[in-house]
Amino acid sequence: MHIRANLSKKIITWYDNNKRSLPWRVPFNSPRKLYYRLLSEFMLQQTQVKTVIPYFERFTKEIKTLKKLSTTSERKILKFWEGLGYYRRARNLLVTAKIIVNQKKSILPKTLIDIKKLPGVGDYTGNALLALVYNQPRLALDGNVKRVFSRILNKHERKLDFENIIKKNQKKLFYSKRNSDLVEAMMEFGALICKPQEPNCGICPVSKTCKFHKSNKYTKLTDTIRSNKKSYNIFCYLNKKKQIGLTNKNNLGFLKEYNLPIIKEKLNRHKLKNWNFLCNYKNSISNKKLNINLYYKFSNKIPPSFIWHSMDKNKEFIPTFTKKIFRQVSTLF
């Protein structure tokens, strides 16, 4: 499928006049470029820009260079990442920084095959980094960019071969030397103009050639992401020292690497007699909507797989999910 030759030119012109001021957008020849782009791309994986900004600013205030990042402890990295979620990204970022600094002489690999060998880097992040760092003619196909193409062509995303579209329109898309700007312009355009709901077609610079806008009967172009609603029962061992018993033996699809109280999906009413109900509250992780029933009991003994953890403020990394549990049970003291 072919697109109009002036698409890139119009979107870059719009970008020049409307782009947001973001802390990781530094000049192309800046010595901070590689570090800022690497860090921001990891943080932005499945996370909105407005959420990332304060974390990025706090992170770079304390860890100013890629070399410094490569020598920082995982514990400290996780502490800076606390509340941002998807903590595997932080671990992958640290390993990737070590590889680039220690094995690659602080030079990012220059091919998609090589860059994807870095932990946490797939097609999307790899293409984004190659365009942003090396100005290579590539597009990062996130949800925003796919939506732009699907609307311009007025075709459902599932019916489009995006890689083939880019290949066929290579000369039209990458008409200038501003490939780094184009990858950001496309993402920015999708986020601010070609939005999932109520797109701003009235001020869109490509609306005249957009088949979605010209159609009287708009095609449903994307699938709605449905929230995955779950109910969990959480059981907390507590003692008078304001400690909570935690274990890493919960077989959960989220936070499975971390110490948590007992968490069960199914509730055995017979085993509830020794537990006290504290409260019900709502939580969410990614697209999971969680309904939490919280139970507790005071005990000086805990099962062998558990450890006592202080609920007072400390310097250890604690996931936000766990912090919310701490806040609820702290009302008992």
> What dihedral angle (degrees, nearest 10) is formed by the CA atoms of 86, 88, 90, 94?
-170
Q: Is residue 129 part of a domain?
A: yes
196 and 320 share one domain:
no
Range with the poorest average pLDDT among 139-143, 208-212, 265-269: 265-269
Q: What is the pLDDT of residues 230-289, one digit of tens each?
A: 888 999 999 999 999 998 877 666 666 678 888 888 777 777 788 999 999 888 776 677
The residue to which tokens 């939580």 are assigned:
283
Which residue from 23, 75, 31 is spatially nearest to 50, judged by alpha carbons? 23
Give the phi and the psi of residue 94 in degrees, each rounded to 5.
Answer: -65, -45
Paired tokens of 295 = 């139970």
Range with the poorest average pLDDT among 127-136, 173-182, 311-320: 311-320
> Residue type at 265?
E
Paired tokens of 283 = 């939580």
Q: What is the pLDDT of residue 228?
A: 66
149 and 256 share one domain:
no
Q: Is residue 196 part of a domain?
A: yes
Rounded CA-CA distance 24/55 in Å is 12
Q: Is residue 2 part of a domain?
A: no
List, as one string, the DSSP characters of 154-212. T--GGG--HHHHHHHTHHHHT-SS-HHHHHHHHHHHHHHTS-SSS--GGG-TTGGG-HH
The residue to which tokens 């912090």 are assigned:
323
Q: Is residue 220 part of a domain?
A: no
Domain containing 198 — which CATH number? 1.10.340.30
Q: What is the pLDDT of residue 23?
A: 97
Q: What is the pLDDT of residue 22?
A: 96
Q: Is the pLDDT of residue 224 over 60?
A: no
Q: What is the pLDDT of residue 3?
A: 67
Paired tokens of 159 = 């019916």
Percentage above 70 pLDDT, the chain: 90
Number of structural domains in the chain: 2
User: Is 17 strand, coil or helix?
Assistant: helix
Q: What is the mean pLDDT of the chain?
A: 87
Give the list of residues 6+ apart from residue 48 with CB closer than 8 angstroms, or none.
Answer: none
264 and 192 share one domain:
no
Q: What is the pLDDT of residue 298?
A: 93
86 and 181 share one domain:
yes
Q: Is residue 170 part of a domain?
A: yes
Q: Is residue 313 part of a domain?
A: yes
199 and 259 share one domain:
no
The domain of 152 spans 7-214
Domain termination residue (choose one: 214, 243, 270): 214
**Which of the given ranges, 97-101, 137-141, 266-270, has the highest pLDDT on average?**
97-101
Q: What is the pLDDT of residues 69-91, one digit of tens each?
A: 999 999 999 989 988 888 889 99
Q: Is residue 223 part of a domain?
A: no
Q: What is the pLDDT of residue 287?
A: 60
Q: What is the pLDDT of residue 217?
A: 54
Task: Report, as residue numbers or ranges, the catalytic residues.
Answer: 41
239 and 91 share one domain:
no
Percentage above 90 pLDDT, the chain: 49
> Residue type at 80?
F
37 and 106 share one domain:
yes
Q: Is the pLDDT of residue 227 over 70?
A: no
Domain containing 326 — which CATH number? 3.90.79.10
Paired tokens of 246 = 């935690």
Neighbours of 189 (CB within 10 A): 25
Q: What is the pLDDT of residue 231?
A: 87
Q: State CA 81 to chain mean position distance.
A: 12
Burial category of 37 from C-beta neighbours within 10 Å (exposed 0-12, middle 13-18, buried 19 and up): buried
Q: What is the pLDDT of residue 214?
A: 82
The neighbouring-strand residues paired with 262 are 235
Q: Is residue 222 part of a domain?
A: no
Q: What is the mean pLDDT of residues 108-124?
A: 96
184 and 256 share one domain:
no
Q: Is the pLDDT of residue 318 over 80?
A: no
32 and 152 share one domain:
yes
Which residue from 134, 133, 178 is spatially nearest to 35, judged by alpha carbons? 133
Question: pLDDT: is 265 or 5 the higher one?
Answer: 265
34 and 176 share one domain:
yes
Side-chain-facing half-sphere of 169: CA atoms under 13 Å: 19
91 and 182 share one domain:
yes
Q: What is the pLDDT of residue 27?
A: 93
206 and 234 share one domain:
no
Q: What is the pLDDT of residue 155?
A: 82
Q: What is the pLDDT of residues 166-188, one digit of tens each?
A: 878 877 777 778 999 999 999 99
**pLDDT class of 216 with cuts at 50, 70, 90:** low
Q: Is the pLDDT of residue 226 over 80?
A: no
Q: State CA 139 to chain mean position distance.
A: 18
